[in-house]
């Protein structure tokens, strides 16, 4: 989900950069107020922990692997301010020292992963905690949903930025990005819950967002998440879910672009349009021509084919990269 340079245009980069800068500055203030002179060592080891955790690839299926993001986990454990700052630091290091994620896209990447991802997931966790009965299982369910949602939403934000920049239209980018990350999000949710329950079992006081009576821990213990599911049926069902989501989301998404795309036009297209008319894409290329029904159908179809292709690419790339990484780890 690390957008490279060139995929977001200058206005988008500037706006996302400014938003991120503001949010991060605020987070610095709040976390220093909260943790005092412990902020720096705490933040440092948290960032190091997230960084180390992101190095661990987890297998999804068929040789594909995803890697852990950790935003909601950090927020659940240490509060959203520290969590969001730790992810910011990690994303910045990846861009500066490892060329993973563009330097002009840094604002967008921080916004997606460290701000939107962390806060949306954490917000959902807090809301669900209020809505669900107060017990350990509900807490873990809320955590799972929160971390899964944070990945999906960060992917959606990423798709929106690509669309506003005119790189990929929203009707293609959104379903594809979101559906793929809905699958990756499952891994995120599983790991987040497993880490949180391990920490809860040993040091419940270190899980800041857990405010239920401690006794319930001893009774319930860590949940059994490891279930025996037939491997290939799992792969196939993942694929079916991804496709179903793509088909379901695409028509829904096609109504959204207008607003976003018109923003893009307002932003920088005017002077750009004068000298480089072809670079910017026009907001309404061929939408009006067919009737609503067939439009829905065609966008859904496009989403479906796109998702299938993307899924294939992810599987192949994951296989190749996964092998390379395992090789490095062994060495």
Positions in 67-96 near another protein (CB under 8 A)? 68, 77, 85, 89-90, 92-96
Task: Return the residues of window 194-223 that contact another protein according to CB under 8 A.
Answer: 194-199, 202-203, 206
What is the Cα–Cα distance from 164 to 261, expressed in whole angstroms? 6
CB 155, min distance to another protein, A: 12
| Stretch 102-141 residues interacting with another protein (CB under 8 A) | 102-104
Q: What are phi and psi of 64, to 5 degrees?
A: -80, 145
Q: Provide the minimum distance between the beta carbon of 138 and another protein in the complex, in angstroms, as a whole number.
A: 19
Q: Which stretch binds another protein (CB under 8 A): 54-62, 107-115, 122-130, 141-149?
A: 54-62
Q: Which of 172, 179, 250, 254 binds another protein (CB under 8 A)?
A: 172
Q: Which of 19, 30, 51, 297 binds another protein (CB under 8 A)?
A: 51
Binding status of residue 241 toward another protein by CB under 8 A: no
Does residue 192 touch another protein according to CB under 8 A? yes
Q: Interface with another protein includes 48 (CB under 8 A)?
A: yes
Binding of residue 61 to another protein (CB under 8 A): yes
Query: Rule CB under 8 A: is residue 13 a binding residue for another protein?
Result: yes
Q: Which of 18, 33, 45, 244 binds another protein (CB under 8 A)?
A: 45
């Amino acid at each position: 989900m690390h957008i490279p340079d060139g995929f977001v245009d200058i206005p988008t980069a500037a706006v996302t950069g400014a938003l991120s800068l503001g949010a991060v500055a605020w987070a610095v203030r709040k976390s220093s107020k909260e943790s005092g002179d412990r902020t720096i060592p705490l933040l440092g080891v948290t960032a190091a922990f997230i960084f180390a955790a992101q190095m661990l690839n987890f297998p999804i299926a068929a040789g594909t692997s995803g890697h852990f993001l950790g935003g909601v986990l950090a927020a659940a454990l240490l509060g959203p301010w520290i969590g969001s700052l730790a992810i910011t630091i990690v994303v910045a290091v990846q861009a500066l020292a490892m060329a993973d994620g563009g330097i002009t896209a840094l604002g967008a990447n921080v916004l997606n992963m460290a701000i939107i991802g962390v806060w949306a997931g954490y917000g959902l966790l807090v809301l669900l905690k209020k809505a669900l009965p107060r017990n350990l299982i509900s807490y873990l369910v809320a955590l799972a949903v929160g971390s899964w949602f944070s990945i999906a939403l960060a992917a959606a934000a990423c798709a929106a930025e690509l669309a506003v920049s005119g790189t990929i239209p929203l009707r293609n980018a959104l379903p594809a990005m979101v559906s793929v990350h809905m699958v990756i999000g499952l891994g995120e949710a599983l790991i987040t819950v497993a880490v949180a329950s391990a920490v809860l079992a040993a040091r419940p006081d270190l899980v800041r967002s857990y405010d239920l009576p401690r006794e319930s821990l001893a009774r319930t213990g860590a949940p059994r998440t490891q279930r025996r599911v037939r491997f290939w049926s799992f792969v196939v069902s993942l694929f079916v879910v991804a496709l179903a989501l793509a088909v379901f989301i695409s028509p829904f998404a096609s109504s959204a672009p207008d607003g976003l795309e018109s923003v893009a036009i307002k932003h920088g297209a005017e002077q750009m349009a004068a000298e480089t008319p072809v670079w910017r894409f026009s907001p309404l290329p061929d939408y009006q021509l067919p009737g609503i029904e067939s439009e829905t159908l065609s966008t859904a179809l496009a989403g479906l084919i796109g998702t299938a292709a993307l899924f294939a690419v992810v599987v192949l790339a994951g296989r190749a990269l996964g092998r390379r990484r395992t090789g490095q780890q062994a060495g």
